[in-house]
Structure 1
Amino acid sequence: MNIAPNILNAVNEWLTPTFDNDTQAAVKELMTTSPKELEESFYKNLEFGTGGMRGVMGVGNNRINKYTLGKNTQGLSDYLHEVFPNQPLKVVIAYDCRHNSNTLAKVVADVFSANGIHVYLFSDLRPTPELSFALKYLGCQCGIVLTASHNPPEYNGYKVYWEDGGQIVPPQDGAIINVIENLSYDKIKFNSNESLIEYIDTEIDKAFVKSSIKNASFNTPAEAKDNLQIVFTSLHGTSIKSIPDTLSQAGYTNVHIVPEQAEPNGDFPTVKSPNPEEPEALTMALALADKTNSDIVVGTDPDCDRLGVAVRNNDGKMILLNGNQTMILMTSFLLKQWKKAGKINGKQFVGSTIVSTPMMMELATSYGVECKVGLTGFKWIAKMIKDFPELEFIGGGEESFGFMVGDAVRDKDAVAATLLICEVAAQAKAAGSSVYNELLQLYVENGFYKEHLVSLTKKGMEGLQEINQMMIDLRQNPLKEISGQRVIMVEDYQSSIALNLLTGEESTMDIPKSNVLIYYTEDGSKICARPSGTEPKIKFYISVNAELDSVANFDAAESFLDEKIQNIIAGMQLK
């Protein structure tokens, strides 16, 4: 096969003595046995996306390995010394259940320590939200977590957090990436200073659980907690380290843990994907819920920042809620509790994202609270907290099953969110209602918004080109009509221009640039096209809505909205 010059140059670099013998041997093996894999491993540098850097583990500059992560860490070390001159530097590192996470975390710790930086390293796997909490608790300038969230077993990743506890955002991320890109592999300091590496565990765990209970508990009576039957699954991930303890200490006694999925395991042997967005992932939990006659099911992804929830409908059948629905339920509950406590005075806000349900705006308005909307990813919600210190942050979420309660953790947090949704369920049940009924009532009060996600997987170099071309086509040939409805507005977040198709008027959007397009139709539907920042996918987020005059008419309204969604999918040929 003909190898492109840029790929050949990268391959040759990895065959120099800068790289160890095992790495060089693995590269040579790819050259002789897997030329296509060689191309995929070297055609570009692994990039930071929505949730940090994620990729397949292996050799090459487009793979997760000790050299790509070492280079990141060396560049980050140089940047830390630059922006915090003459200060004692401290970082904290956590990792999840994935293959090689513990050894890669030690490589990262070694490089930081070799650069004279004090390292707090968790002695075992821990949830990602605990890393964000620990960063502020320990007064660190930076934090790293080794995780690939819900990606397949062959993946790992590297997420960078800053001193406020949130992930890095522009312009800082660009400055860090620039330092990393201009660094050569032979500049990485791998020889650790073990005296600067301090292992942490129990003290942080206790403080984290205590904080989670403080932020997500709302005077639920002990009897109500005793009457709630909960099924929980960690899907082989890190949440087993925190959520059972948090629920127990918060007073929830009837928690049934799916035993087959309680052991951390990077192969995720009982599921096709450890992603709580996928219904299949909660199959075993739903079976246990029926066996135990439980009221609610909660499942978390491997690094414990997102949660999937199932509840019983009015026929007693367990149904899965989507991320928009859980976000609405938890936000409404928080707003109600804040109002009851007399804490809403117009100086509070909730957070959401451009691809999440517009119902968040309706809900916030009904309580006299601002809803700030940012790009996809909780780093933007964390940035809102930092940018508006005069406002109190109540909570916020995004459609991809993430939620954040208060600001003790500056990232999506399935520990506090699990406790919060159990508070919602316990109080609803005690009042003779249910989570499901509470949701329907919210639709009556605020309008019935229904969302649907179409996710098209396009793997590898060719897939990336195909995704890029789809976005180019949508920009160069913007849709004028979708499923018989006129498009009235197009927002292009790459150009920061919103175009009113009825008047021809253009306006500038004050939000960071991103490769996202949003179409609005005359009947109030919203369709967003966005390449994923963490997976080889292009995603289409569809939101439709209708008035719901009573709970009794829910089924008919839902059928109407389902048909509308299917017409949009067919009209846009999203197959």
Structure 2
Amino acid sequence: MTQEENASKNQTLSGDEKLDKKINDWLEWDQNPKTKSEINELVVKKDWATLKLRLCKRICFGTAGLRAEMRAGFDSMNDLVVIQTAQGICEYLKKSYPDKNSWSERGIVFGYDARHNSKRFAELSALVFYRNGFLVHLYNTFVATPIVPFCIKELKCLAGVQVTASHNRKEDNGYKVYWSNGAQIISPHDLGIQEHIEKNLKPQENYWLIDEETLKPMLRDPYEPAYFEALKNQIPKSFISDNGKCLINFVYTAMHGVGKAFVEKAFKQVNMKPFIPVKDQVEPDPDFPTTPMPNPEEGKESLDLALKTATESKCEIILANDPDADRLAVAEIGENGKYKLFSGNEMGALLGWWVLLILRTADPDADIKNCVMIASTVSSKILKSMAAIEGFIFHETLTGFKWMANKAIEEESAGKKVLFAFEEAIGFMISTVVPDKDGVSAAAHVATMARYLYENKLTLQKQLEKIYDKYGYHTSICSYVSCSDQKLIQQIFNRLRTFDNGQVNTYPKSILNGDFEIEHVRDLTTGYDNSKADLKATLPVSSNSQMITFTFKNGVVVTLRTSGTEPKMKYYAEICGKPEDKNWAQLSATLERMVEAIVNEFYEPEKHKLQRKSA
């Protein structure tokens, strides 16, 4: 019986029969003693509820791949699920590229971070492709995530995978999938891969046998030197020369991840003196002993040691990568002696200004009208305001670099020069050398920018003020409430969509008893947008995630959405002043008052069940 016939038969089984079949499949297919034993122990205990949870719902592609807890079960990250995933990607690539020569000539690249099981998951995946006649590039050791998409472009690979869970807790791991253009996969590839995974669930026997001799022809470290050479070429030679005279000092933390070696090389490549490491966090450690949630976006909660090191060393700038080094957090000492942690939106403003400066330095006659910058819809509109004055093209995309990178590649194919893309979650892409967020290159650029500003009697904070003076004050509040109950999340968003006595598409019309009126609502879960004549949203719609944007009459824009990787409901709010609006404190106070009201009123019936993070 074929797997398709088995799937059809499975649809007619009762709940108990389905669970029995899933148990039997797991025990037959899994060759990892630890995870096989986990399922066996649950069977012995007759813990049917846990078995149903683990086995009857399959992990699905989310943010360009998979992310989940490492444990036994089809809903989790483990050897069996990884092999099944690799089989599905392999079969989908065969269908997409039927010329077998491309399998052996272009192949696929696999990288991995320093988390538990990352190396093994990458090796198992690589073996699947090797057994199917693909040229495989498997790194000898862990790499920063941006190196993988760079390698795909340089080697013209068919695809690539980075095994990482980014900034998640130590119990998690993930599987980030890139297409042949070097960008994270979007539809239809994600749906096609998922379909082919489900059609090829039974693993081949020879996909489990990893040994040194089998791995030997796959192991290589492709194009790492070329990455650093490409980074050097992004920065004017005069700036690199002047970096040798840098008088400011940098503290750096890798958050127990892989970034240290790569940022060291990046600093050396751009002629920057070595940084001061946060000793207890700078080397890879998959247990993340000093920061259980290794996410620099969390601010002082995760950067305590970096702040302590910087204070003791009297350093001006703190740079922090997340564990796979694709994101970057930045802090700077202020005139009051305290460190200011910049938001992703603030760094987006600074780097947007910076890429224009280095473009005009390198090419004073550059055609700005042919240049492009991109931001996600939940990020600051500062680039849009800059574009209105400077004349470059600005695009807004859905949340996530999979959308921004694919848009960048589309624009580049049309003859445009893509300068920069960013998202508020401290993700930055400078040029399209790496079509993804890149915390390594961003660290080198920020260090060079800081050196340039300090030489010109400025700081990052003072330059940000100059940007607001020219383009208008933009301030945002981005935070979240934690909620792992999917039914409750659905209930909250459904209530917002039926605010007027349960009627469909009757969203809230105001907050604070009418003090602030809502002008437009865009719902990218349902496709509703009352700013359009036909009431239809123009950005892509997904019923698998929740996302509603409210635009108020005073210009405040607030987006509520669910996270694709964590049990959170996020909210993003921004107020955009005009250059002539100089009362920045009043604008900030208005935004704070509105955000407090939105959280209290929109989540009000359920807020006692939610855990809110202070903004």
TM-score range, shorter chain: over 0.9
Residue by residue over 1:360-396, the C-alpha shift from the partner in whole angstroms, topping out at 9 and shown as x without a partner, is 2112222101111111111111111222212110011
Residue by residue over 1:197-235, the C-alpha shift from the partner in whole angstroms, topping out at 9 and shown as x without a partner, is 42123x622222222222255732526752121111111
Matched to 1:482, the amino acid is I
2:10 aligns to what? none
Q: Is the 8 A contact 2:344 2:424 kept in 1?
A: yes
Give the distance between the partners of 1:533 and 1:218, measured in 2 at CA.
40
Give runs of aligned pairs for residues 144-163 of structure 1, distance below 5 A.
Answer: 144-163=161-180
2:96 aligns to what? 83
- Displacement after TM superposition at 1:558 (Å): 3.5
Q: Which has the higher contact order (CA 8 A, sep 6+)?
A: 1
Give the distance between the partners of 1:510 and 1:197, measured in 2 at CA.
48
Gaps of 5+ in 2: 1-13, 500-506
Q: Does 1:471 align with 2:493?
A: yes
Q: Does 1:408 align with 2:420?
A: no
Q: Does 1:25 align with 2:37?
A: yes
2:69 aligns to what? 56
Give the distance between the partners of 1:17 and 1:335, measured in 2 at CA.
55
- Displacement after TM superposition at 1:271 (Å): 1.0
Match of 1:278 among 277, 298, 310: 298
1:512 aligns to what? 540
Give the distance between the partners of 1:249 and 1:507, measured in 2 at CA.
51
Give the distance between the partners of 2:243 and 2:386, measured in 1 at CA.
30
Matched to 1:481, the amino acid is S
Match of 1:534 among 547, 562, 565: 565
1:70 aligns to what? 83
- Displacement after TM superposition at 1:537 (Å): 1.7
2:381 aligns to what? 358
Q: Does 1:139 align with 2:156?
A: yes
Secondary structure of the 1:157 match is strand
Residue by residue over 1:512-536, the C-alpha shift from the partner in whole angstroms, topping out at 9 and shown as x without a partner, is 2233211111111111121111112
- Displacement after TM superposition at 1:560 (Å): 4.4
1:239 aligns to what? 259
Q: Is the 8 A contact 2:29 2:80 kept in 1?
A: no
Secondary structure of the 1:15 match is helix
Give the distance between the partners of 1:217 and 1:16, measured in 2 at CA.
59
Match of 1:568 among 589, 598, 601: 598
Give the distance between the partners of 1:437 and 1:345, measured in 2 at CA.
25
Give runs of aligned pairs for residues 110-509 of structure 1, distance below 5 A.
Answer: 110-186=127-203, 190=207, 194=214, 197-201=217-221, 204-216=223-235, 219-220=238-239, 221-222=241-242, 225-279=245-299, 280-340=301-361, 341=363, 342-388=365-411, 389=413, 390-459=415-484, 463-477=485-499, 478-483=507-512, 484-500=515-531, 505-509=533-537
Q: Provide closer, same or farther for how the CA distance between residues 197 and 372 of structure 1 changes in structure 2, counting only shifts above 3 A.
A: farther
The range that moved more, 82-91 or 100-109, is 82-91
Secondary structure of the 1:185 match is coil
Matched to 2:169, the amino acid is P
Secondary structure of the 1:327 match is helix
Matched to 2:574, the amino acid is S
Give the distance between the partners of 2:102 and 2:576, measured in 1 at CA.
54
Q: Is the 8 A contact 2:35 2:71 kept in 1?
A: no
Matched to 1:426, the amino acid is R
Give the distance between the partners of 1:21 and 1:317, measured in 2 at CA.
52
Q: Is the 8 A contact 1:234 1:300 kept in 2?
A: yes
Q: Is the 8 A contact 1:216 1:419 kept in 2?
A: no
The range that moved more, 539-548 or 46-55, is 539-548
Q: Provide closer, same or farther for how the CA distance between residues 188 and 69 of structure 1 changes in structure 2, counting only shifts above 3 A.
A: farther
Report the TM-score when normalising by structure 1: 0.92
Secondary structure of the 2:428 match is strand
Q: Is the 8 A contact 2:244 2:273 kept in 1?
A: no
Gaps of 5+ in 1: none
Give the distance between the partners of 1:488 and 1:7, measured in 2 at CA.
50
Matched to 1:509, the amino acid is A
Give the distance between the partners of 1:17 and 1:242, measured in 2 at CA.
39
Give the distance between the partners of 1:441 and 1:560, measured in 2 at CA.
22
Give the distance between the partners of 1:225 and 1:29, measured in 2 at CA.
63
- Displacement after TM superposition at 1:12 (Å): 3.6
Residue by residue over 1:424-464, the C-alpha shift from the partner in whole angstroms, topping out at 9 and shown as x without a partner, is 211111110100011112122222222222322223xxx12
- Displacement after TM superposition at 1:556 (Å): 5.4
2:504 aligns to what? none
Q: Provide closer, same or farther for how the CA distance between residues 20 and 296 of structure 1 changes in structure 2, counting only shifts above 3 A.
A: closer
Give the distance between the partners of 2:602 and 2:133, measured in 1 at CA.
55
Q: Does 1:96 align with 2:113?
A: yes
Q: Provide closer, same or farther for how the CA distance between residues 113 and 485 of structure 1 changes in structure 2, counting only shifts above 3 A.
A: same
Q: Is the 8 A contact 1:58 1:65 kept in 2?
A: yes
Give the distance between the partners of 2:293 and 2:34, measured in 1 at CA.
31
Give the distance between the partners of 2:406 and 2:243, measured in 1 at CA.
39
May I ask how many residue pairs the two structures share in their alignment?
566
Q: Provide closer, same or farther for how the CA distance between residues 32 and 219 of structure 1 changes in structure 2, counting only shifts above 3 A.
A: farther
- Displacement after TM superposition at 1:19 (Å): 5.0
Q: Is the 8 A contact 1:485 1:521 kept in 2?
A: yes
Give the distance between the partners of 1:21 and 1:226, measured in 2 at CA.
55
Residue by residue over 1:329-381, the C-alpha shift from the partner in whole angstroms, topping out at 9 and shown as x without a partner, is 10111123323433234111111101111222112222101111111111111
- Displacement after TM superposition at 1:568 (Å): 3.1
Q: Provide closer, same or farther for how the CA distance between residues 218 and 438 of structure 1 changes in structure 2, counting only shifts above 3 A.
A: farther
- Displacement after TM superposition at 1:22 (Å): 4.4
Q: Provide closer, same or farther for how the CA distance between residues 310 and 391 of structure 1 changes in structure 2, counting only shifts above 3 A.
A: same
Secondary structure of the 2:555 match is coil
Give the distance between the partners of 1:346 and 1:322, measured in 2 at CA.
28
Matched to 1:70, the amino acid is I
Secondary structure of the 1:465 match is helix
Give the distance between the partners of 1:424 and 1:439, measured in 2 at CA.
12
Give the distance between the partners of 1:101 and 1:411, measured in 2 at CA.
20
Give the distance between the partners of 2:394 and 2:574, measured in 1 at CA.
18
Q: Is the 8 A contact 2:111 2:163 kept in 1?
A: yes
Give the distance between the partners of 1:549 and 1:559, measured in 2 at CA.
18
In angstroms, what is the RMSD of aligned CA positions? Answer: 2.4
Give the distance between the partners of 1:422 and 1:4, measured in 2 at CA.
59
Residue identity (%): 27
